Amino acid sequence: MKRHLAVWGACLLLVLALIGCQGVRGGSGDGLGDFKQGVSALASQDPDRAIDLFSSALASGGLDSQAKALAHYNRAIAHSHLSQLDKALADFNQALQLDPNLAAAYNNRGMVHYRLSQFDKAVSDLDTAIRLGPNSSAAYYNRSFPLAAQGHAMRAIGDLEQALKLSPGNDVYRNRLNSLLKPEQGLPKATPRSGGKLTGSGFVVSPQGHVLTNLHVVKDAKDIRVPGLSEPLSVRAIDALTDLALLQMPKESDKMASFPTGKPPRAGDQVVVVGFPLHGLLAPGPSVSTGNISALAGPGNNPNLLQITCPVQPGNSGGPLLDEAGRVVGVVVGKLDAAKVAKAFGETPQNVNFAISGAVAQEFLRSHGVEPRPAPAAAAPLSAADIAEKAAGYVVLLECTN
């Protein structure tokens, strides 16, 4: 996600239309000028500048009530893009106090609630957005995410079918619908080693020895083992839609991953991947790669995914994506198909890889009775070497025999 601006283009067009149709009054502080520049900053995806400009416009005293609503709304969009979700909610609330019929504000506030795993609030906001704008295909598309997260797959499918009726040629909506109808068909393919074994990564998430990984790593496996353990792991839970699987080791563990409890990750944050890529070819221990979060949503603006620049290889799937404090902010899931992109666009993508967001992973764990271990905010960032050394205690190699 973030991040997730599900209807960025549509909302921007709405704002520009409202500027033209409704009229924004400028005052002595030139609120109109700052407002228009703020819209331009959003269009060029410069959220920091947009926030400054909308703040200046609001402080000028030269905007009427509807223009103030739009300024708060657009500043909320900019805050959301920077993962400043509390500030985004505050601005969306202000916008809706000034204009209770601003459907786009309900739409986007609903997705902020979704990113905070507040699924009931997300559905409620998107219900209102659809009531106010029944022809908004984006609102139906967005509501499919919290509905699916709550386990209401059929309602989510119905929303996506309605979104496609309103926008028949939208491939993003169609791909999302297909992923709900046949989720396992959309899973990445694990690369087999000689001898018929598949290998991947996983990490311990509880003292009881629960291990989190990707479903596509263990799918159809008859035997799942961690080297050094005499007994195989059992599968506790799977989710084909999010490509997550929860395993159970035959022993308890005193080392486990932790998850952040404060602010969500932001685009540009430095991250570390620890796992077992190309096992049998590279060094036997866990490998480390570093990079950044480059986008807070995946293909089709999917808020369940993070786009990352860390190099990943077959075998990294299921390993943790760690922030500068060594906390789990994602689960590595795969990379963009460079050959297909090169064929379609004539360019080979560089370092375009993906991780399932940590928020989705935490919700998956909670829904299956595992409470993610919380970690307080770090006093200072750790080096990649320190993060990797700590992670080596809970990241495991998974050897799967089909």
Contact 87, 264 (CB under 8 A): no
Check pLDDT > 80 for residue 28: no
* pLDDT at position 135: 95
User: What domains are there in the chain, each with its CATH number?
Assistant: 8-181 (1.25.40.10), 189-402 (2.40.10.120)
pLDDT of 186 reads 63
| Collapsed DSSP state (helix, strand, coil) of residue 128 | helix
Report the distance separating Cα 31 and Cα 28, nearest Å: 8
Average pLDDT for 168-173: 88
User: At residue 63, what are phi and psi to the nearest 5 degrees?
Assistant: -110, 140
pLDDT of residue 350: 61
Q: pLDDT confidence of 366, banded at 50, 70, 90?
A: confident
pLDDT score, position 122: 94
Q: 259-260 and 374-375 as β-strands: parallel, antiparallel, unpaired?
A: parallel
Mean pLDDT of 351-355: 86
Q: Which of 119-128, 330-339, 359-368 has the lowest mean pLDDT?
A: 330-339
Q: How far is CA 127 from the centre of its chain?
A: 22
Report pLDDT digits (tens) over 3-20: 333 333 334 434 443 444
Residues 59-81: what's their mean pLDDT?
91
With a CB cutoff of 8 Å and minimum separation 6, the contacts of 325 are 260, 375, 377, 378, 381, 382
Dihedral, CA atoms, 107, 112, 114, 119, nearest 10 degrees? -80
> How far separated are the first and last CA of the chain, in Å rounded?
33
Residue 94 CB partners (closer than 8 Å, separation 6+): 68, 69, 72
Residue 26 and residue 39: Cα distance in Å, rounded? 15
pTM of the entire predicted model: 0.68
Alpha helices in 254-337 (DSSP H): none
Residues in the chain: 402
Measure the CA angle with vertex 325, ends 322 and 327; round to 5°.
Answer: 45
Stretch 96-115: mean pLDDT, rounded? Answer: 94
Q: Which residue has the higher pLDDT, 393 or 174?
A: 393
DSSP 302: B
CA distance 277 to 351: 15
pLDDT for res 15:
44
Mean pLDDT of the chain: 84
Query: Of 133-137, 210-214, 334-338, 342-346, which gets the smallest average pLDDT?
Result: 342-346
Sign of CA dihedral 40, 46, 49, 53: positive
pLDDT band, very low/low/confident/very high, at 333 (cuts 50, 70, 90):
very high
Q: What is the distance between the alpha carbons of residues 287 and 274, in angstroms, rounded to a whole number?
A: 6
Instruction: Please state the rounded mean pLDDT for residues 159-169.
Output: 94
CA angle 236, 328, 202 (to 5 degrees): 40
- Interior angle at CA 314, CA 313 and CA 319, nearest 5: 80
Report the chain's C-alpha Rg in angstroms.
Answer: 22
337 confidence band (pLDDT: 50, 70, 90): low
Reference 214, options 242, 186, 182; nearest CA is 242
What percent of the chain has pLDDT above 90? 51
Supply angle C-alpha 302, 353, 389, rounded to 5. 120
The pLDDT, as a whole number, for residue 165 is 95
Over residues 194-211, mean pLDDT: 87
**What is the per-residue pLDDT across 185-198, written as a single tens digit (0 to 9) for each?**
666 666 655 556 78
Measured distance CA(210)–CA(256) in Å, rounded: 9
For 227-286, what is each residue's pLDDT tens digit? Answer: 989 899 999 988 888 899 999 999 899 999 999 987 788 889 999 999 998 665 655 678
Contacts of 135 (CB under 8 A, 6+ apart): 166
CA 237, 241, 243 angle in degrees (round to 5)? 60
379 pLDDT band, cuts 50/70/90, is: low
The yes-or-no verdict on residue 148 having pLDDT over 90 is no
pLDDT at residue 189 in the model: 66
Beta partners for residue 381, in sequence order: none
SS3 380: coil
What is the model's pLDDT at position 84? 85
Burial 19-50 (b: 16+ CB within 10 A, else e): beeeebebeebebbbbbbbbbebbeeebbeeb
Is 50 exceeded by the pLDDT of residue 214?
A: yes
